[in-house]
Chain A
Amino acid sequence: MSLAQYSSPPTLAEAMQALAGGTGARPLAGGTDLLVQMKLGLRSPAHVVDLKRIPDLMALTLDDNGLRLGAAVPGAVVTANADIARTWPGFTEALGLIGSSQVQGRCSAGGNLCNASPAADSVPALIASRGVCHIAGPGGERTVAAEDFTTGPGTHCLGDGEILVALQLPLPAPRTADAYLRMIPRTEMDIAIVGAGVSITLDESGVCTDARVAIGAVAPTALLVPEAAAALIGSTLDADSLQAAGAAATAAASPISDKRGTAEYRRKVVAVLVRRAAAIAHSRITEST
């Protein structure tokens, strides 16, 4: 594999400097996308800037502010954390679905987001659980909602020299649970043809007071679907409300047909997965209270 320069700066400032100025440098987190793309000749950066020596990108803190997950923390570290899995079972499962055990040793939620595949598994789950992206750049720090980070297949909102430092998941309100489901043509180790992330909040009488529904692999980016959430809010997640939420997801989808599935099939399945993920999130709340 041809590469002129590798560096592993220990600070954000040095990494930003290395990445700025249109020099053809690419950031490296787990490399499970970037190195494959380089080997296949799809990308040929002049300089690979390894971000894993920067403490903020490898830090994981869980406190009253929720989870702050360094953008390069490997999936295996997240899925092995019982507190994270209990608080965000949907996000944890979604991240754990990426690739093999070996890929889990390297892949990261931040990398999954920055690779900007429309089918990225962790992204709908991140959006559903109100994920926020912490970005550092030459102009200072800023935050972007997870649903606004990706701008199209393979593209995102990071400007020149900017780095995705961490993802923040706010602590869920009481009686809140999330769930993620995906459809793949195989039983494992495949790319989603549809993904659905749902977060549900119930009041003490079992009425849904808040909801977030995000869908993946059915549009150029993962989408937050407020219309689907609106169909759930105020309901007890009865069959009619679930049906309406699924229909809203179908209406929001603009999928393509490819070797994994047709557009028609994806539009149909996205409704099914939204219904089922909402039902799973619902049962997670009722079973734990």
Chain B
Amino acid sequence: MSQPRKIHVSTTVNGEPKEFLCEPGQVLSDALRNNLALTGTKEGCTTGDCGACSVLLDGALVCSCLVLAAEAEGRAVQTIEGVAGEGRLHPVQQQLLEHAGLQCGICTPGVVVAAKALLEQNPDPSEEEVRFWLAGNLCRCTGYDKIIVAVLAAAADMRAA
């Protein structure tokens, strides 16, 4: 079989217009990392179970390993690289540091993207709501408690800001 024709994709990543050429079967996590050099998005399971590749696609939280890169045409992608401000961490990032909510760090970009999405739609979640929301972000290091405490602390910071 001949090589599949590459697809030209024009998209927006973290507010900036981006273009890339992808294979039809290439997933968005791979295009972000290898075509656009945005390696903050991690590839864990590659089957939508672990959440390490979490990004927002037109504002919706998704696993970028279960999105074809070509689907990003004309859509807006937000990745971990767009979370921190100029020289200033996002409250979720800051509180993960304060509470030692990460060890190896592979799951952390996905946790940050997912937790930020939660707090933007629910500024005052219960512990249970945070745990359910982040159930698709697997962490093999922390045992989760520190992550949950950090997200609740970030929520309090954001409400006070």
Contact = CB atoms under 8 A, between A and B. Distances in A.
A101 to B, nearest CB: 5
Interface string B1-34: 1001101000000000000000111110000000
Nearest to A34: B66
Interface string A1-41: 11111101000000000000000000010011001101110
Interface residues of B, number: 35
A279 B23 CA distance: 52
A224 to B, nearest CB: 30
B46 A4 contact: no
Contacts of A31: 66-68
B24 A6 contact: yes
A221 to B, nearest CB: 24
A189 B121 CA distance: 21
B62 interface: yes
Interface residues of A, number: 31
A50 B62 contact: no
B62 A102 contact: yes
Contacts of B117: 101
B141 to A, nearest CB: 19
Nearest to A35: B66
A101 B61 contact: yes
B91 interface: no
Contact of A106 (B24, B60, B70, B114): B60
A5 B62 contact: no
A50 B71 contact: yes
B48 A1 contact: no
B25 A1 contact: yes
Contacts of B103: none
A103 B136 contact: yes
A109 B122 CA distance: 24
Given A48-B24, A101-B135, A106 B68 contact: no
Contacts of A184: none
Contacts of A3: 4, 23-25
Contacts of B66: 31-32, 35-36, 106
Given A99-B136, A100-B48, 4 more contacts: A3-B25, A40-B47, A102-B54, A105-B61
